[in-house]
C-alpha cells in the first residue's frame, strides 16, 4: 500500500512498525459545540482509512482524542454557566450521536485531555529537565531553537517561520516561535496544581502525551485536517521527539478542506452546516458518499445540490442490489453454470481493480468508479437465466466493496424479510419442541420490531404494523 506522507511530500510504501498492525492517532474535535460537515469530512476520511486497513487484514489501534480544555471550552462554559467538565460531557455525548449516525466506527479509545493531566505534567517536566522547555512566571514554553528539525513537516525553516510572525504577543518568550506547553491560570479559569503553580496544559502537548501513553514511542500514522500541519503537528513532533528521543510518527496524513463557496467551512466564519442538520435531511450513506467522492487530498466544495445528486448516484447502486436480491428468489439454476466460469473471473477482477485504487493512497474517488463499473456490468449481464451462485457472488462482492467506505451496507427490505422468516421458523421449531418460553420471546422480539404474527389455518403469516 502507498501513502502520501506530508513529511516527505511523496507517496511511500506503507511499512508498519509491527507487521500486521497499524497504530494510528487522529486529532479529534474540541468538544464545545456540535461538529460540522467539514469536521465530518476529516472524521469520515480517517474512519475509511481505518476500515480499509482492516479490510486488508491489519489489526488497527485507532485513537482519536477529545480536546476538552482550551480557550473556546473555557469561554463557552462560562457563557452557558456550567463547568468545562459538564460542557465536555455534553458535547462528547453529542459527538457520539452524530458520529454513530454517520456510520463512523468507534475508536479503540477517545482519550480526553483533562483525564491525562498527571501524565501531561510529567511530560512537561521531562522537557524542562532536558532543557527543551523553560518556565517564565508560571508559564512553560517549548524552546523551538533546541529542536533542529523544527519546521520540517510544514517545509519551512525556523528563520522563514519567524519572518512570517507578527511582532510578538508575548515579549517574555526567548524566541517568537516558542509555544506554550503549560499555561498559568488566569482569573476564573479552571486549573490544576503543577510544579509551576496552578495552570492548564497547552493544546499541542495533550496529543503528544496521549499518543505516547496509548500507542508508544513511534506510531505508524498521525493524521488530521490540513490546518493542523502547522503549528499543531509541527509542535507535537518537536515535543515528542525531544522528550522520547525517538521518531514520533512514520507517516503523516492530512485531509483537505470541505469548502463552502470556495471558503473553508469553519465555526469562526459561521458558514457551516452541522452534521446533525445534514443527517436530518440525508441518509448517512449519502453524506459519506459525498465525502469520499473526491480524493482526500483535494478540496471539496459543498453545495446542497451535491448531496441531491449523490443521493441518486447511490440509489443507482442500490437498484443493482435490489435487482440481484429479487433475482435470487426467482431463478431456476442453483449452481454455477459452465458458461459462467469466465464471468466469475470477470466479477472478481473488479475486486482487484478496487484494491489497486485504494492501495494507491486511498483513492476513494476511483474506487467508487470501480463499484459503478461493477454495477453496470451486473445490470447488463446478470438476469433470470443466471445461476443463484453467480447472483450471490455478485451481491456479496458489491456489498464487500462498499464496506470499507461505509456505504452499501443498508439492509434492504428483502434482507429484512429473510431475517423475519428465519425467526418465524425458529419460533415454529420452539413450539414443536414445547419450548414456549423461547417461542414467546421470539414473538415479543418481532413485535418490538413492528412485526405481528398471525396464526392462520394456512400457517403463520406476518405483517408490519
Ligand atoms: P476542530 O474541532 O476545529 O479542532 O477540528 C477537528 C478536526 O476537523 C481537525 O482534524 C480539523 O483539521 C478538521 N477540520 C476542521 N474544519 C474542516 C474543514 N472545513 N474541512 C475538513 N476538515 C476540517
Ligand atoms: Zn492533535
Give residue ranges with CB within 6 A of ligand 1: 27, 29-30, 38-39, 41-42, 224-225, 227-228, 255, 257-258, 264-266
- If asked whether residues 327 and 445 sit together in one domain, one would say no
Assess if residue 77 is contained within a domain: yes
CA-nearest residue, atom 8 of ligand 1? 39
On whether both 200 and 51 belong to a single domain, the answer is yes
Same domain, 393 and 433: no
Same domain, 430 and 384: no
Query: Structural domain of residue 313, as residue ranges?
Result: 304-405
Q: Evaluate whether residue 265 is within a structural domain.
A: no
CATH code for position 123: 3.40.50.620
Q: Which atom of ligand 1 is nearest to the CA of 27?
A: 10
Residue nearest to atom 3 of ligand 1 (CA): 29
Of 405, 424, 450, at which residue does a domain stop? 405
- Identify whether 282 is part of a domain: no
Give pLDDT tens digits for 409-465. Answer: 998 777 778 788 889 889 989 999 999 999 999 998 888 878 888 877 777 878 777
Q: Atom of ligand 1 at shortest distance to CA of 267? A: 3
User: Is 19 contained in some domain?
Assistant: yes
Give the C-alpha distances (Å, rounded to integers) separating 259 from 7, 98, 134, 271, 303.
24, 20, 39, 9, 9
Q: Are residues 427 and 322 in the same domain?
A: no
Q: What is the pLDDT of residue 459?
A: 76
Last residue of a domain, one of 405, 427, 444: 405
In a domain, 298, yes or no: no
pLDDT per residue rounded down to tens, the chain (465 residues)? 999 999 999 999 999 999 999 999 999 999 999 999 999 999 999 999 999 999 999 999 999 999 999 999 999 999 999 999 999 999 999 999 999 999 999 999 999 999 999 999 999 999 999 999 999 999 999 999 999 999 999 998 888 888 776 655 567 899 999 999 999 999 999 999 999 999 999 999 999 999 999 999 999 999 999 999 999 999 999 999 999 999 999 999 999 999 998 899 998 899 999 999 999 999 999 999 999 999 999 999 999 899 999 999 999 999 999 999 999 989 999 999 999 999 999 999 999 999 999 999 999 999 999 999 999 999 999 999 999 999 999 999 999 999 999 999 998 777 778 788 889 889 989 999 999 999 999 998 888 878 888 877 777 878 777
Number of structural domains in the chain:
3
The reply to whether 117 and 245 lie within a common domain is yes
- Ligand 1: residue of 32, 35, 39 to mutate (most ligand atoms within 8 A of CB) is 39
Question: Ligand 2 centre and the CA of 241: distance in Å?
Answer: 15
Are 400 and 420 part of one and the same domain?
no
Whether residue 456 sits in one domain with residue 381: no
Task: Give pLDDT, residue 105.
Answer: 97
Residues 87, 32 share a domain: yes
pLDDT of 166: 62
Same domain (yes/no): 327, 232: no
Cα 235 to averaged position of ligand 2 atoms, centre (Å): 10
Q: Is residue 295 part of a domain?
A: no
Tell me if 364 is assigned to some domain.
yes
| Residue 362: other Cβ atoms inside 10 A | 25
For ligand 1, atom 11, which residue shows the shortest CA distance? 225
Q: Which residues surround ligand 2, an ion (CB under 5 A)?
A: 27, 207
Residue 327's CATH number: 1.20.120.640
pTM of the model: 0.91
For residues 391 and 422, state if they share a domain: no
Decide if 72 is inside a domain.
yes
- Which among 405, 423, 456 is the end of a domain? 405
Q: Both 396 and 418 in a single domain?
A: no
Q: How far is the CA of 212 from the centre of ligand 2 (A)?
A: 12
Amino acid at each position: 500500500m502507498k501513502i502520501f506522507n506530508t513529511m516527505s511530500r511523496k507517496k511511500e510504501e506503507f511499512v508498519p512498525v509491527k507487521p500486521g498492525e497499524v497504530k494510528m492517532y487522529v486529532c479529534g474535535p474540541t468538544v464545545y459545540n456540535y461538529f460540522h460537515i467539514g469536521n465530518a469530512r476529516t472524521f469520515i476520511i480517517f474512519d475509511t482509512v481505518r476500515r480499509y486497513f482492516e479490510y486488508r487484514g491489519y489489526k488497527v489501534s485507532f485513537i482519536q482524542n477529545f480536546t476538552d480544555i482550551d480557550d473556546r471550552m473555557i469561554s463557552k462554559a462560562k457563557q452557558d454557566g456550567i463547568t468545562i467538565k459538564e460542557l465536555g460531557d455534553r458535547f462528547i455525548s453529542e459527538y457520539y450521536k452524530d458520529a454513530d449516525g454517520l456510520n463512523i466506527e468507534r475508536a479503540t479509545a477517545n482519550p480526553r485531555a483533562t483525564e491525562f493531566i498527571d501524565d501531561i505534567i510529567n511530560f512537561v517536566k521531562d522537557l524542562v529537565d532536558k532543557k527543551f522547555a523553560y518556565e517564565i512566571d508560571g508559564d512553560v514554553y517549548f524552546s523551538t531553537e533546541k529542536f533542529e528539525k523544527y519546521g520540517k513537516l510544514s517545509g519551512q525553516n525556523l528563520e522563514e517561520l519567524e519572518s512570517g510572525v507578527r511582532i510578538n504577543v508575548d515579549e517574555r518568550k526567548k524566541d517568537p516561535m516558542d509555544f506554550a506547553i503549560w499555561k498559568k491560570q488566569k482569573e476564573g479559569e479552571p486549573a490544576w496544581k503543577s510544579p509551576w503553580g496552578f495552570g492548564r496544559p497547552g493544546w499541542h502537548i495533550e496529543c503528544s502525551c496521549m499518543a505516547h501513553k496509548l500507542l508508544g514511542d513511534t506510531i505508524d500514522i498521525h493524521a488530521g485536517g490540513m490546518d493542523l500541519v502547522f503549528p499543531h503537528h509541527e509542535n507535537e513532533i518537536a515535543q515528542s521527539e525531544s522528550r522520547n528521543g525517538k521518531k514520533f510518527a512514520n507517516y503523516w496524513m492530512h485531509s483537505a478542506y470541505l469548502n463552502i463557496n470556495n471558503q473553508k467551512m469553519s465555526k469562526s466564519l459561521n458558514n457551516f452546516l452541522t452534521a446533525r442538520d445534514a443527517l436530518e435531511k440525508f441518509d448517512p450513506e449519502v453524506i459519506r458518499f459525498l465525502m469520499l467522492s473526491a480524493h482526500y487530498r483535494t478540496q471539496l466544495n459543498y453545495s446542497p445540490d451535491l448531496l441531491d445528486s449523490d443521493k441518486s448516484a447511490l440509489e443507482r447502486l442500490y437498484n443493482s442490489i435490489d435487482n440481484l436480491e429479487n433475482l435470487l428468489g426467482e431463478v431456476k439454476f442453483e449452481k454455477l453454470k459452465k458458461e459462467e466460469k469466465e464471468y466469475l473471473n470477470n466479477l472478481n477482477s473488479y475486486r482487484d481493480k478496487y484494491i489497486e485504487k485504494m492501495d494507491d493512497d486511498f483513492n476513494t474517488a476511483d474506487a467508487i468508479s470501480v463499484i459503478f463499473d461493477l454495477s453496470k456490468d451486473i445490470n447488463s449481464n446478470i438476469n433470470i437465466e443466471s445461476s443463484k451462485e453467480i447472483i450471490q457472488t455478485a451481491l456479496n462482492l458489491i456489498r464487500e466493496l462498499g464496506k470499507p467506505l461505509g456505504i452499501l451496507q443498508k439492509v434492504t427490505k428483502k434482507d429484512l424479510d429473510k431475517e423475519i422468516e428465519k425467526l418465524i421458523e425458529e419460533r415454529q421449531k420452539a413450539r414443536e419442541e414445547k419450548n414456549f418460553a423461547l417461542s414467546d420471546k421470539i414473538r415479543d422480539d418481532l413485535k418490538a420490531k413492528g412485526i405481528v404474527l398471525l396464526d392462520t389455518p394456512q400457517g403463520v403469516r406476518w405483517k408490519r404494523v
